[in-house]
Amino acid sequence: MRRTLDEGKGGFKLTVLNPMGAFEVAQQHAPRLASLNGRTIGELGNGSWEDQVILPALREQLRRRVPDLRIIPYTEFPRGAVDIPARYSAKIEPE
């Protein structure tokens, strides 16, 4: 992205470049669910940003708002920024 401001005679010219560049969207997000009632979500944490504090707090708030929500806690999954082996995800029944 290139933006230029030119104040004309006696002014100045300022050009700002965005170093991020463009990117192509390879896959769109899934459509938003109408409700979380009766759904299952899994908590995933990578051990940073106090996930052992925020995920239980988030779980509590979600259970208050959506009583019919099944939550698989982060403690049931491997921790860290690694691929989750199929033996963990295979236990989760698709909806």
Q: What pLDDT is recorded for position 93?
A: 60
pLDDT at 71: 96
Q: pLDDT value at position 72?
A: 93
| AA identity, residue 33 | L
Burial of 8: CB neighbours in 10 Å, binned 0-12, 13-18, 19+ = exposed
Asked whether residue 49 is assigned to any structural domain, the reply reads yes
Structural domain contains residue 71: yes
Which pLDDT belongs to residue 62?
Answer: 96
- Residue 38 structure tokens: 């009766």
Q: Domain containing 95: what range?
A: 38-95
**Can you give the pLDDT at residue 2?**
53
Q: Report if residue 32 sits inside a domain.
A: no
The pLDDT assigned to 34 comes to 94
Residue 31 lies in a domain: no
Residue 95 in any domain: the answer is yes
Q: Which amino acid is at 12?
A: F
Residue 74 belongs to some domain of the structure: yes
Residue 50 lies in a domain: yes
- Read off the pTM: 0.56
Nearest CA-CA partner of 20 in 5, 2, 34, 38: 2
- Are 41 and 56 contacting, i.e. CB atoms less than 8 angstroms apart? no
Give the span between the Cα atoms of 22 and 4, in whole angstroms. Answer: 19
Total domains present in the chain: 1
Identify whether 54 is part of a domain.
yes
What is the mean pLDDT, run by run of 10 residues, along the chain of 95 residues?
58 76 83 94 85 94 96 84 68 61
